[in-house]
Structure formats: C-alpha cells, structure tokens
Amino acid sequence: TITCTEIYNEIVAAHRRGVRVRVVTDDDKQDDRGSKTMSLKSQGIEVRNDGDLSHMHHKFAIIDGCVLINGSFNWTRSAVLNNRENVVISSDPYLIQAFNHEFGSLWTAFRYNR
C-alpha cells in the first residue's frame, strides 16, 4: 500500500497533469492505517487490488514507458524514514518490457477487483 504522503502527492499531481496512472495493491493492506488507496480512488485514479489470500508483494513503477523503479522499497512512510530498503532505477528496455508485461497481466487478472 501507499502510506507516504509525498509519494501519494506526486501520484495525484501526475494524474492531474493528465498522466494515466494505474495502481495495483494488496487487498489486505489497502485498508491499513494510513493507506492512501481509497483516497487515490476518490481522486479518479484507477486502482485494483489482488483479491487474493496471498500478498501482492510487487513494488515497481513504470514511468512513461521508459523508466522502471523496482526494489524492496515499500511505498510507505516507514520505508522512507526507518527501513533498510533498496531501489533500482533503470532505463533498460528489456526490463521495462518485462515489468510492463507483468503489470498488464496483473491489471487484467484483477479487472473485477476495484
């Protein structure tokens, strides 16, 4: 889930600029204290959850189809301030294509989970 206000604000700002933003999250975590998931939805951002007993543990973003952000970094306040996390930012077309395919698969699989 997203609990970091600064990340949330940037996602909303991108949406308001006309960028298509889509989020897949974990159904169990979307209702956690501090989660911004419902607020993203109220801003008109497309959000789907996994609706599954297992956890959605992916943590990646694809920016404009040409930048991949991926790693252990949870998009939470705790990750920003406390945790030992890693994040890789890549423009490798092969990686971007692979993650884009994975996102598309998740988006399709969770089409009824909103």
Among all residues, which ones are annotated catalytic? 57, 59, 64
Phi, psi dihedral angles at 4 (to 5 degrees): -80, 120
- CB-CB contact of 46 with 108 (8 Å): no
Number of C-beta neighbours around residue 103 at 10 A:
16
Q: Kindly give the pairing relationship between strand 46-49 and strand 22-25.
A: parallel
Of 73, 58, 107, 65, which Cα lies nearest the Cα of 90?
Answer: 65
